[in-house]
Amino acid sequence: MNKTDRASPPTARPRASKLQTRTSTGSPPDAEIASRLDEQLGALATLETRLAAIVASIHGRIAFSSSLGLEDQAMLHGIAASGAAIDVFTLDTGRHFPETLETLEASEHRYGVKVRVVFPDAGDVEALVARDGIMGFRQSVEARKACCEVRKVRPLNRALSGAAGWLTGMRREQSQERSAVPFAEWDAAHGLVKINPIADWTLADLEGYIARHDIPVNPLHAKGFPSIGCQPCTRAVRPGEDIRAGRWWWENLDGKECGLHNRPKAKVSA
């Protein structure tokens, strides 16, 4: 068996409540559940068995936020193959490549699942554009993070509201900022357990899994786009460049996150 088959107007803050301690069964509190999963997942052989362990450990809704990139397409395949009861959603920022939306449709047809599409608040977007301009995100890091805040972070917070677990496709090899990504951790900001089931996969692992299972992927990956975000903020990478060098390429390489996986500093007060 292969290794990869083995294993604005302000908005409400994310809920602060934690998972309930299951005292009737002697289960540990939430942070300890996350710690247990972090230790357990690396020892499991397949993505499907990792997903089964996650579902068995977390009581309540488990949500998977998909960007429709390579990692998340592999995750979607694993979810469909395992039959795990996972709430799958994606954020439509209003600025996706057409190929990204085609990938969404192809995935729904392939796996017979309905991916929940979450949009930004129209009023927030209008206030942002009125203040910064239609392409104002290129004027400063602060402006770009404010755009990500409105188009990504706030919709994500809404989508995760009430969830007990949050699945992502983050891998340690993706960037320096993600090199220490755990399999699972307690996310106090959202009040849930955040799980990264393929954190230890290499790019070769990922590509092998996709090839073996003939998983539908965004055609832009074959055109030099290893990491695909909004169209105005993503370019193809050059040979030898970091795989995230094409994201917000006008900024320094360090710290290229949109705020989905770290607490954003930008605020929109318009």
pLDDT (tens digit per residue) in 130-180: 999 999 999 999 999 999 999 999 999 999 999 999 999 999 988 788 889
pLDDT value at 182 more than 60: yes
pLDDT (tens digit per residue) in 64-104: 999 999 999 999 999 999 999 999 999 999 999 999 999 99
pLDDT value at 12 more than 60: no
- Out of 24-38, 44-58, 104-118, 210-224, least confident range: 24-38
pLDDT, mean of residues 189-204: 95
Residue with tokens 């092998």: 208
Tokens representing 155 are 């919709």
pLDDT band at 258 (very low <50, low <70, confident <90, very high): low
Integer Cα distance of 170 and 80 in angstroms:
19
Pick the closest to residue 247 from 106, 118, 104, 67 (CA basis). 67
Looking at residue 250, its pLDDT comes to 87
pLDDT band at 267 (very low <50, low <70, confident <90, very high): very low
- Amino acid in the structure at residue 255: G
- Amino acid in the structure at residue 169: G
pLDDT value at 21 more than 60: no
116 burial (CB, 10 Å; 0-12 / 13-18 / 19+) is middle
Task: Write out the chain in H/E/C secondary structure.
Answer: CCCCCCCCCCCCCCCCCCCCCCCCCCCCCHHHHHHHHHHHHCCCCCHHHHHHHHHHHCCCCEEEEECCCHHHHHHHHHHHHHCCCCEEEEECCCCECHHHHHHHHHHHHHHCCCCEEECCCHHHHHHHHHHHCCCHHHCCHHHHHHHHHHHHHHHHHHHHCCCCEEECCCCHHHCHHHCCCCCEEEECCCCEEEECCCCCCCHHHHHHHHHHHCCCCCHHHHHCCCCCCEHHHECCCCCCCCCCCCECCCCCCCCCCCCCCCCCCCCCCC
- Number of Cβ within 10 Å of residue 28's Cβ equals 12
pLDDT band at 194 (very low <50, low <70, confident <90, very high): very high
Q: Are 160 and 126 in contact (CB under 8 A)?
A: no
Looking at residue 257, its pLDDT comes to 52
Catalytic one of 147, 148, 233, 258: 258
Query: Is residue 233 among the annotated active site residues?
Result: no
- List Cβ neighbours of 171 (8 Å cut-off, separation of 6 or more): 71, 178, 181, 196, 198, 199, 200, 201, 202, 206
Backbone angles phi, psi at 116, to 5 degrees: -70, 125
pLDDT value at 268 more than 50: no
pLDDT value at 22 more than 90: no
pLDDT (tens digit per residue) in 199-245: 999 999 999 999 999 999 999 999 999 999 999 999 999 998 888 88
Structural domains present in the chain: 30-233 (3.40.50.620)
Q: Are 228 and 67 in contact (CB under 8 A)?
A: yes
- Out of 21-35, 61-75, 99-113, 193-207, least confident range: 21-35
The residues facing 90 across adjacent strands are 66, 117
